[in-house]
Amino acid sequence: MHSPRPRVPACLLAACLLGSAIAATPAEAASKTYPSGAVYEGEMSGGKPHGQGVILFPDGKSRYEGAFRDGALQGYGRIIDATGAITYEGHVVGGLRNGTGRAFYATSTYEGSFADDKRHGKGTLRGDDGYVYTGDWQAGQRHGTGRETLGDGGIYEGEFRADTWHGTGRFTFPDGAVYAGRFTAGTATGRGRLTHADGTVQEGLFADFRYLGPAD
């Protein structure tokens, strides 16, 4: 599944720039090295990063480029890993991904809303293998309603719960067959209707996409 988190330096989430280190920064300094090993260069106000700047994380390679406010990573910016690849571009609040943005993973990309550093709200995840999910997210998981296209061409449209198909939905097989009905824990289970590619129809109860017979 295409759900790994981007490689965000732990220093970002731990707020490298918070605390007494900032208070000790000379006012309006253009650059500063912090006890953590992080290095900031950019605009400052009242001795704190404020405006546009760059923080180079302790590994000496990964960095954040963008807006700061009162010493915190806040506004629009981007996170770049040690290889020079962008792993996130978008809005940041308090050092966490919040608002709209784009996250870049090893084999997929996500574009949409974030809350507290997780995919949350509306968004689209695209995989290099042709996988696409567009719909609702909650705390980093597919949750609500959405449309998922699998790498083999199968398409699910309907309800999701806790990152899996659950509720009422419709699945179109690569050969054109269509199941519409209930889904439980990621599979067709319950009442439904399966229309085969040749036009024949089975309607009743299903378990794991297997037709059990007519419903009582």
pLDDT digits (tens, 9 = 90+) for 15-59: 444 433 333 344 455 788 889 999 999 999 988 899 999 999 999
| Residue 136 belongs to some domain of the structure | no
| Residue 74 belongs to some domain of the structure | yes
Q: What is the pLDDT of residue 32?
A: 86
Q: What is the pLDDT of residue 33?
A: 87
Q: How confident is the model over 113-126, as a mean pLDDT?
A: 98
| Residue 82 belongs to some domain of the structure | yes
| Residue 34 belongs to some domain of the structure | yes
Residue-range definition of the domain harbouring residue 70: 1-121
Q: Are 206 and 179 in contact (CB under 8 A)?
A: yes
| Residue 210 belongs to some domain of the structure | no
* Residues making up the chain, counted from first to last: 216
DSSP secondary structure string, 8-27?
Answer: --HHHHTTTT-SHHHHTSPT
| Residue 108 belongs to some domain of the structure | yes
pTM, to two decimals = 0.85
pLDDT digits (tens, 9 = 90+) for 129-148: 999 999 999 999 999 999 99
Read off the DSSP letter of residue 106.
Answer: S
Instruction: Please report the beta strands in 30-163, taking only residues with DSSP state E, as ranges in sequence order.
Output: 31-33, 39-45, 48-56, 63-69, 72-80, 86-93, 96-104, 108-115, 118-127, 132-138, 141-149, 155-161
| Residue 28 belongs to some domain of the structure | yes
Q: What is the tally of structural domains in the chain?
A: 1
| Residue 174 belongs to some domain of the structure | no
In this predicted structure, the answer to whether residue 68 has a pLDDT above a threshold of 70 is yes
Read off the DSSP letter of residue 5.
Answer: P
